[in-house]
Chain A
């Protein structure tokens, strides 16, 4: 299957490239990037074809693309891919506004292409195990979930993450969506209202939110919180961050620390004093495989447009609640 990557703007592009090169049934055609410097740099770094326009890449008889552009550019790229009839795996958040999110839906429906939102954590083995435990009834009735998706500010890797116009927001935009998607999936229920505190205490020189505490209620009565803060000290923390959650229920609690499988690595050569070298499972590969399978089997991918859209809706509502200092209904 011929696949490519549209834009190398997102930090995950590197990872997608590695996965696409390694998967047996994939022919990795290359990536497009309109930023010449960025394009040349990564083409040389990885020794892969680079196309200086998205149209050129889409001309290569592709079956699917991974959209890794800046959040605000997703819609434009979706339009191009849809016009070429190419299936899409799109980075999260799927857009920066509800209008763009809805416009994406129109494009993919019109073109009749598949659209998958990139939520890799649904494929994480500990999350999958948690889902099974919940479905088996180990916890009894679920009461609440307390989730954390901390990281350092990602701007060292790609500066646009701290650019409100391109990213649509900071920590809240970047990190609320992952846990929110997992909550929807685990609970099989939609968020009904939320309150959020949002601020920028960590990186005053970036004009963007770096901290957020969100409390959500779900239609089925469960409440949950999300700490989406970029609160790990930049360039000092032993790793980018982590994703943790604790689910409280009738029979007790289950705690998940999805990235807890690592080696403590201390090096005299590294800029960081201590490093956590992960050796756990790679959920992104499983996610890409699901995208490929959905194309092969001509069915909907397990995570669709609606999942991406609901997550975006919640992320945007966090900003509303924080501004109004009030609970916002969804």
Chain B
């Protein structure tokens, strides 16, 4: 099948690596930032399209790696063109938009894959596999941590809440989704957050408490709160029969001790890395491609993407009211 990517920033490049290894026919890229599209096209020996409509026409699968506020319109456009769709997370910025996107894809008979990449990180998969096999018994307390630094995108869109949804929707969504994938539906959400008003200071940080229908509880910690270059993640899942602990600090198999870098040399977006044979973004793209090609289910459904967004928005609601937010009518 023929594939093209719209958006040639951090994620466009991460996905391109996956498409190159997927067995799909990677034909082209298009981006508002023509220079970034040209560079990506050169790297992969594919065509840079001047406008994304032409690219859309040329492919069977379109991969949307554009800022989050554009997901909705581009998914609807691709569905109208009857193309299968890979779309970066968050699925959208509102539940209404997400529902409309899912409905449009269903109606058009095209597949929609929301790229929730944490589901493809091997340590998260291994933990989920142990839990699903009953090795932890009933889950009790789940702690998930994800703290990086302020991401940079074209047009500074990450720090514009209207475009990215803010740190909770952009970043903490990953762990909200993961928590739900291991512990089921959430009944209660309570959140606290801080956003620095100091120029140039890090400091966008939140703590979200979840109460699950199962009786389990979770603390999701997220932030763009470290100086550039630092990114730490962690898992601590305690059940009636066992415990899983993991911290990104512990499992680095290669540790550079180099001179500190300037902001311009640090990756635009902090992405948790580990020395692993296959980049999880490649695993993700291969999975999505094979599921579309062979008409198999995705490991993470668009509805999962929608529910993760529901949790993130509930956390934001809790921040606004200062109260516990109840889901699913108490």
User: B238 touching A232 by the CB < 8 A rule?
Assistant: yes
User: B138 touching A201 by the CB < 8 A rule?
Assistant: yes
A326 / chain B contacts, CB cutoff of 8 Å: 323-324
User: B216 touching A201 by the CB < 8 A rule?
Assistant: yes
- Asked if B226 is at the interface (CB within 8 A of a chain A CB), the reply is yes
- Asked if A231 is at the interface (CB within 8 A of a chain B CB), the reply is yes
CA distance A211 to B203 in the complex (A): 29
Per-position contact with A for B229-249: 1 when CB-CB < 8 Å, else 0?
Answer: 010000000111111000000
Per-position contact with B for A128-147: 1 when CB-CB < 8 Å, else 0?
Answer: 00000000000011011010
How many chain B residues touch A (Cβ–Cβ < 8 Å)?
40
CA distance A215 to B193 in the complex (A): 11
Per-position contact with A for B174-210: 1 when CB-CB < 8 Å, else 0?
Answer: 0000000000000010101010101001110101010
Q: Name B's interface SS.
A: strand
B27 → chain A, closest Cβ, in Å? 44
- Asked if A304 is at the interface (CB within 8 A of a chain B CB), the reply is no
How many A-B Cβ pairs are below 8 Å? 111
User: A252 touching B190 by the CB < 8 A rule?
Assistant: no
Q: Which of A52-90 contact B (CB under 8 A)?
A: none
User: A202 touching B226 by the CB < 8 A rule?
Assistant: no
Comparing A26-34, A111-119, A221-229, the segment that makes contact with chain B is: A221-229
User: B203 touching A202 by the CB < 8 A rule?
Assistant: no
Per-position contact with B for A178-218: 1 when CB-CB < 8 Å, else 0?
Answer: 00000000000000000101010110100000110101010
Per-position contact with B for A318-330: 1 when CB-CB < 8 Å, else 0?
Answer: 0000000111000
CA distance A249 to B204 in the complex (A): 10
Known: A252-B225, A327-B323. A227 touches B219 (CB 8 A): yes
A215 CB contact (under 8 Å) in B190, B203, B243:
B190
How many chain A residues touch B (Cβ–Cβ < 8 Å)?
34
Known: A211-B141, A232-B243. A144 touches B217 (CB 8 A): no
User: B219 touching A248 by the CB < 8 A rule?
Assistant: no
Binding site for A on B (CB under 8 A): 138-141, 143, 147, 188, 190, 192, 194, 196, 198, 201-203, 205, 207, 209, 211, 215-219, 221, 223, 225-227, 230, 238-243, 322-324, 326
